[in-house]
């Protein structure tokens, strides 16, 4: 029982971080139908940047955190402005290839600036453990869940009520008509990239506060893709719900099956789930089907 509760909490919190990163993907995909393949690298560089702010510059969290957010937004703006905007109206495949290139570029920059490649973030959350019934859970998991929920709520409110959020959803539907309304789509694109990098960065901080910074963080980008595919490429709700599913599958499957099968089973389970879901619902769990009036 205690074990189960532990697996559930860790699964949920890691899964929610996946959701955050996945939201970074969905944001860009929805407004400009570009698949952002540099997501994992953006997560990694934001984590390293956080490390530099906290451990090397020794800034307090309340200064470092806004700096990281600013850094991520700046990164998003630069990527959109200098790598993608010149390619507007080009075939979508070249745009996707460009994001792949950006990813490798960022990786290069990372090994240049932080060549030691493994480190731990200073503790962000209190050290004391929490007792829930029989289970002992380290506090950071609970904090991660809380922070993710707050970000989800903020994003939902933004997209539902803020005019820029509404304009971003509108751009996803019909770029031409958005321009006919006198809205600069280029600004919509750069906003979506800034937001995407921002949530990816927050995800990066949270996950590296649990597991430390390693090169493996790039793979969380891959996990985020599986979340996105499971939830539906263009669905915010899908990403938010699919994240915990993947997280739970990982931690429960990993926790209970590893002793019987082999150690890597944890990493395979999410993909098995995806294959099964894809067979049944090809749009993903919550993907938008095309509205067709007959």
Partner 1 sequence: MLKLNNIEVTYLNVIRVLHGVSMTVEDGAIIALLGANGAGKSTTLKAISGLLHIEEGEVTDGSIEWNGERIDKKYAEEIGKMGIIQALEGRHVFEHLNTEENLIVGAHNRRDRHAVRQDLEMVYDYFPRLKEMRRNTAGYLSGGEQQMLVIGRAMMATPKLMMLDEPSLGLAPLLVEEIYDIIRRFNTEQKTSVLLVEQNVRIALSISHYGYVMENGRVVLDGTADFLKNNEDVKEFYMGLSALGTKKSYREVKHYKRRKRWL
Q: Is 294 in the site for partner 1 (CB under 8 A)?
A: no
Q: Is 288 in the site for partner 1 (CB under 8 A)?
A: yes
Residues 6+ apart with CB under 8 A from 201: 42, 43, 46, 49, 50, 68, 69, 71, 72
Q: Is 279 in the site for partner 1 (CB under 8 A)?
A: no
| Binder of partner 1 out of 1, 93, 176, 280 (CB under 8 A) | 176
Helices 163-173, 2-32: inter-axial angle, 10-degree rounding: 70
Give the H or E element holding residue 131: strand 129-132
Of 41, 15, 17, 32, the closest CA to residue 234 belongs to 32
The 3-class SS string of 67-82 reads HHHHHHHHHHHHHHHH
Find out whether 144 and 210 touch, Cβ atoms under 8 Å.
Answer: yes
| Binder of partner 1 out of 16, 121, 170, 217 (CB under 8 A) | 170
Cβ distance to partner 1 smaller for residue 40 or 284 = 284
CA dist., res. 60 & res. 114, Å (int): 21
Going by the DSSP 8-state scheme, the letter that residue 130 receives in this structure is E
Q: Is 81 in the site for partner 1 (CB under 8 A)?
A: no
Q: Least separation, in Å, of the C-beta of 90 and partner 1?
A: 12
Q: Which stretch binds partner 1 (CB under 8 A): 21-29, 128-136, 138-146, 170-178?
A: 170-178
| Binder of partner 1 out of 16, 84, 124, 178 (CB under 8 A) | 178
Residues 6+ apart with CB under 8 A from 82: none
Q: Least separation, in Å, of the C-beta of 170 and partner 1?
A: 4
DSSP track, 223-257? HHHHHHHHH-TT-HHHHHHHHHHHHHHHHHHHHHH
Q: Is 45 in the site for partner 1 (CB under 8 A)?
A: no
The position carrying tokens 């995909």 is 29
- Interface residues for partner 1 in 135-164 (CB under 8 A)? 163
Q: Is 180 in the site for partner 1 (CB under 8 A)?
A: yes
Q: Is 63 in the site for partner 1 (CB under 8 A)?
A: no
Q: Is 89 in the site for partner 1 (CB under 8 A)?
A: yes
Cβ distance to partner 1 smaller for residue 165 or 211 = 165
Q: Least separation, in Å, of the C-beta of 178 and partner 1?
A: 7
Q: Which stretch binds partner 1 (CB under 8 A): 63-71, 90-98, 172-180, 211-219?
A: 172-180
Binding-residue total with partner 1 (CB under 8 A): 21
| Binder of partner 1 out of 26, 183, 197, 269 (CB under 8 A) | 183
Count of CB atoms situated within 10 Å of the CB of 108: 11
Q: Is 174 in the site for partner 1 (CB under 8 A)?
A: yes
Q: Least separation, in Å, of the C-beta of 141 and partner 1?
A: 35
Does residue 191 sit in helix, strand or coil?
helix
Q: Is 181 in the site for partner 1 (CB under 8 A)?
A: yes
Find out whether 38 and 102 touch, Cβ atoms under 8 Å.
Answer: yes
| Residues making contact with partner 1 (CB under 8 A) | 89, 163, 166-167, 169-170, 172-174, 176-184, 288, 291, 293
């Amino acid at each position: 029982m205690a074990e189960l509760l532990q697996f559930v909490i860790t699964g949920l919190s890691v899964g929610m971080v996946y959701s955050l990163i996945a939201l970074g993907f969905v944001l860009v995909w929805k407004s400009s139908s570009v698949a952002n393949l540099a997501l994992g690298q953006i997560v990694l560089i934001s984590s390293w940047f956080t490390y530099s702010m906290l451990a090397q510059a020794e800034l307090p969290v309340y200064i470092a955190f806004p700096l990281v957010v600013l850094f991520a937004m700046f990164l998003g703006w630069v990527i959109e402005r200098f790598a993608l905007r010149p390619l507007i109206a080009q075939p979508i495949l070249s745009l996707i290839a460009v994001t792949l290139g950006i990813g490798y570029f960022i990786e290069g920059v990372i090994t240049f600036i932080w060549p030691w490649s493994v480190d731990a973030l200073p503790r962000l959350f209190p050290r004391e453990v929490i007792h829930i019934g029989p289970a002992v859970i380290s506090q950071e998991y609970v904090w991660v869940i809380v922070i993710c929920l707050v970000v989800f709520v903020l994003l939902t409110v933004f997209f539902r009520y803020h005019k820029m959020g509404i304009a971003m959803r509108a751009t996803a539907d019909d770029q031409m008509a958005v321009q006919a309304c006198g809205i600069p789509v280029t600004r919509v694109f750069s906003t979506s990239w800034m937001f995407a990098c921002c949530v990816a960065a927050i995800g990066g901080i949270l996950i590296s506060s649990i597991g430390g910074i390693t090169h493996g963080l790039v793979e969380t980008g891959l996990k985020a893709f599986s979340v996105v595919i499971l939830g539906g490429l263009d669905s915010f709700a899908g990403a938010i719900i699919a994240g915990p599913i993947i997280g739970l599958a990982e931690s429960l499957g990993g926790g209970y099956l590893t002793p019987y099968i082999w150690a890597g089973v944890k990493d395979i389970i999410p993909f098995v789930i995806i294959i099964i879901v894809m067979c049944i619902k090809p749009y993903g769990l919550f993907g938008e089907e095309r509205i067709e009036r007959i």
